[in-house]
Amino acid sequence: MRYLLLISADEVTAQERKVAGAYDRFTEWMADLERRGVLELHAGLHPSPTATTVRVRDEEVLLTDGPFVEGREQVGEFALINCRDLDEAIEIAAGHPATAIGQVEIRPVRDA
Amino acid sequence: MTGGDPVAAVLDAVFRAEWGRVVAAVIGAVGDWDLAEDAAQEAFAAALPAWRRDGVPDIPRAWLITTARNRAVDRVRRARVGAVKLRGLAGEAVTDLDVDLDSLDSGLTDERLRLLYTCCHPALSVESRVTLALRTLCGLSTAEIARTFLVPEATMAKRLVRTRRKIALAGIPYRVPPAHLLPERTTAVLHVIYLMFHEGYAATAGPDLIRGDLCDRAVDLARLVAELMSDHPEAAGLHALLLLLDARRAARVDPGGVPVPLEDQDRDRWDAARIGAGLATVRHALRREQIGPYQLQALIAACHATAPTAADTDWARIARLYDRLLVLVPSSTVRLNRAVAIAMRDGPQAGLDLLAAAGDHPLRPAVHADLLRRAGRAGEAATHYRVAVGAARNDAERAFLTRRLDECAEADGAPAGPVPPAAGPDGLGGLGGLGGLGG
């Protein structure tokens, strides 16, 4: 099963915690993913104020400065994994340091 | 409706007892929940004419599982042929469906357990878990479940579809979880069974206090889990608790359907066999010396079950058990029940003092009113009964509370004095020691 992990948190808090060293476990988390051999793709994102949201209405391209959902909680990272089942995905998600302050949404990926 | 037809009566009984096993066995073989249920339904439908013609088979379950499996397998084969043709046309590689068509007749017990753990997976909402367990394991129809939860049938059908789809698409594994997940998952399973029973024991809406069918299903499931998880003392604790609570069923409402308080119940009408089984089960659980909330609640229920009369109730022991329970489960429900137990031990004022710190709870107005009534403060009690009547969960409770309200309002006009001990109803405010759940 393939899952997209959407890792989100309060961006300000996450930044503070990062500086305070709370994300040191992140290295362990990535190592665990490598060890399990489940990681297909992982990327960290720049903060949400750098986002641009695009809509097309009446054939006109409309741009918004910022993410499509406003708010303090924003996706800051994602990972595409291929693992056994939801239980393994939950185990992996629960190991991510962001879960202590924010959350990880696990979305099953559709078959091609 | 069996209408005196012996075969139909047998089939009815087999359905109640074996539906879950049949479905579980077919899911185990073909891995498809919808298909398994359809096939099980077809097998039960085919059984009636076949058994009338050929007689009831020696092992009805085996007949049903074989029939259901064959139908499911036929459909899988047909679908596979179709899929092969389609993929052939698309020029894709053909891979076998990952289905073991013959691995069926062993491990039936485990199949049911797998089904239960999958239905109760914590990635599903609690509502979905209860619903799916009732449908898949207990064989209640969508219409019956909809009635139970007082939602339109279409809504319930949608919820079931959504739940099954999530299990399939999100990759919720069909298995008993591995050892490191087992304690947490077993707790989730026990909780679902408890909720099912509780809904039957004190219906959250509708005309009746008790829904006996739900109580029966929950007791059955609790027995099953206790059997299958024989080294899990809380599973046995839950089974014991449900047996002891359910033993009071016949005495809990009067002929008019109005709740009878625990202390006014005719104890001769309690089910002695259930009490005996409950006491044996809790004793067995305690041998493992891993006390937990369900065992504590079973012990509380056992105190009531073994008191020859209401006046003999060992409230000091019950209060101590609630002290222990509060440490494990610091909820407003447990606080409320503990306040009642302490009131019964030390007098109403002691309970009223604790009530202030108990926090909000739907049954709090009823408990508050009852303690005031016991303290002889009829006027204040009436005020709180009025609030309680407005918050009542079903018509039966409402009728009981209204009667109390009238009594207190009348007493308020009469000379003041302590009210002789009567009680809050069993099922209202936990004066029956209802296992910390106020129901």
Partners of A106 on chain B (C-beta within 8 Å) are 170
Residue B13 has pLDDT above 90, yes or no: no
**Which domains are seen in chain B, by residue range?**
1-92 (1.10.1740), 109-208 (no CATH), 332-413 (1.25.40)
Asked if ipTM goes beyond 0.85, one says yes
**Per-residue pLDDT reduced to its tens digit, B156-172:** 999 999 999 999 999 99
Residue of chain B minimizing CA distance to A1: B171
Residues 6+ apart with CB under 8 A from B5: none
**Per-residue pLDDT reduced to its tens digit, A33-61:** 999 999 999 999 999 999 999 999 999 99
* B interface residues, A as partner, C-beta within 8 Å: 121, 123, 169-173, 177, 181
Write down the pLDDT at residue B56. 93
A84 contact B CB<8A: yes
Q: Please answer whether residues B298 and B241 qualify as being in contact, where contact means their C-beta atoms are separated by less than 8 angstroms.
A: yes
Q: Which amino acid is it at B421? A: P
**Cβ within 8 Å, pair A86-B171:** yes
DSSP code at position A96:
S
Split at pLDDT 50, 70, 90, the class of B95 is very low
A72 contact B CB<8A: no
Residues 6+ apart with CB under 8 A from A53: A63, A64, A66, A67, A68
Residue B431 has pLDDT above 60, yes or no: no
Residue A39 Cα, gap to closest chain B Cα (Å):
17
Interface test with A, best of B98, B163, B172, B176 (most A CBs within 10 A): B172
Tell me the C-alpha distance between B87 and B397, whole Å.
61
Inter-chain contacts counted by CB atoms under 8 A, chains A and B: 22
Write down the pLDDT at residue B98. 43
Tell me the C-alpha distance between B415 and B434, whole Å.
34
Tell me the C-alpha distance between B268 and B337, whole Å.
25
**Cβ within 8 Å, pair B173-A87:** yes
Write down the pLDDT at residue B148. 72
Residue B360 Cα, gap to closest chain A Cα (Å):
28
Partners of B87 on chain A (C-beta within 8 Å) are none
Partners of A90 on chain B (C-beta within 8 Å) are 123
**Per-residue pLDDT reduced to its tens digit, B187-220:** 889 988 998 898 888 776 667 777 787 888 889 8
Write down the pLDDT at residue B76. 85
| More confident position, B310 or B425 | B310
Partners of B179 on chain A (C-beta within 8 Å) are none
Tell me the C-alpha distance between A1 and B25, whole Å.
24
Structure tokens at B262: 């625990």
Residues 6+ apart with CB under 8 A from A108: A1, A2, A3, A86, B169, B170, B171
Residues 6+ apart with CB under 8 A from A74: A8, A9, A11, A47, A48, A67
Residue B121 Cα, gap to closest chain A Cα (Å):
10
Backbone angles phi, psi at B227, to 5 degrees: -65, -45
Tell me the C-alpha distance between B429 and B389, whole Å.
13
- A2-108: CATH architecture: 2-Layer Sandwich (3.30)
Give the three-class secondary structure for B421. Answer: coil
A87 contact B CB<8A: yes
Q: Choose among B154, B149, B109: nearest CA to B125.
A: B149
Q: What are the angstrom distances between the C-alpha of B379 and each of B237, B268, B336, B344, B385?
A: 41, 35, 22, 21, 10
Residue B432 has pLDDT above 60, yes or no: no
**Cβ within 8 Å, pair A89-B171:** yes
A4 contact B CB<8A: no
Residue of chain B minimizing CA distance to A84: B171
Q: Please answer whether residues B291 and B321 qualify as being in contact, where contact means their C-beta atoms are separated by less than 8 angstroms.
A: no
**Per-residue pLDDT reduced to its tens digit, B361-376:** 888 999 999 999 999 9
**Cβ within 8 Å, pair A85-B172:** yes
Write down the pLDDT at residue B109. 54
Partners of A87 on chain B (C-beta within 8 Å) are 172-173, 177, 181
Buried (b) or exposed (e) across A22-33, using 16+ Cβ within 10 A? bbeebeebeebb
Please report the DSSP string for A15-57 in residue order. Answer: HHHHHTTGGGHHHHHHHHHHHHT-EEEEEE---GGG-EEEEEE
**How many other C-beta atoms lie within 10 A of the C-beta of residue B24?**
27
**Per-residue pLDDT reduced to its tens digit, A69-106:** 889 999 999 999 999 999 999 999 999 999 999 999 99
Partners of B123 on chain A (C-beta within 8 Å) are 86, 90
Strand pairing report for A39-44 and A2-10: unpaired
Residue of chain B minimizing CA distance to A105: B123
3-state DSSP of B90-153: HCCCCCCCCCCCCCCCCCHHHHHHHHHHHHCCCCCCHHHHHHHHHHHHCCCCHHHHHHHCCCCH
Residue B181 Cα, gap to closest chain A Cα (Å):
9
Q: What percent of chain B has pLDDT over 90?
A: 50
Q: Give the residue ranges of DSSP H helices in B178-251.
A: 182-201, 212-228, 233-246
**Per-residue pLDDT reduced to its tens digit, B332-360:** 889 999 999 999 999 999 999 999 888 88
Structure tokens at B219: 């007791």
Say what the pTM is.
0.74
Write down the pLDDT at residue B137. 83
Residue of chain B minimizing CA distance to A91: B181
Strand pairing report for A52-57 and A2-10: unpaired
**How many other C-beta atoms lie within 10 A of the C-beta of residue B319?**
21
Tell me the C-alpha distance between B215 and B44, whole Å.
24
Residues 6+ apart with CB under 8 A from B198: B437, B439
Please, what is the end-to-end C-alpha distance for chain B in angstroms? 31
- Average pLDDT of the residues in B151-157: 92
Residue B30 has pLDDT above 90, yes or no: no
What residues does each domain of chain A span?
Answer: 2-108
Structure tokens at B47: 């059984």
Give the three-class secondary structure for B79. Answer: helix
What is the pLDDT of chain B when averaged over all its residues?
A: 84
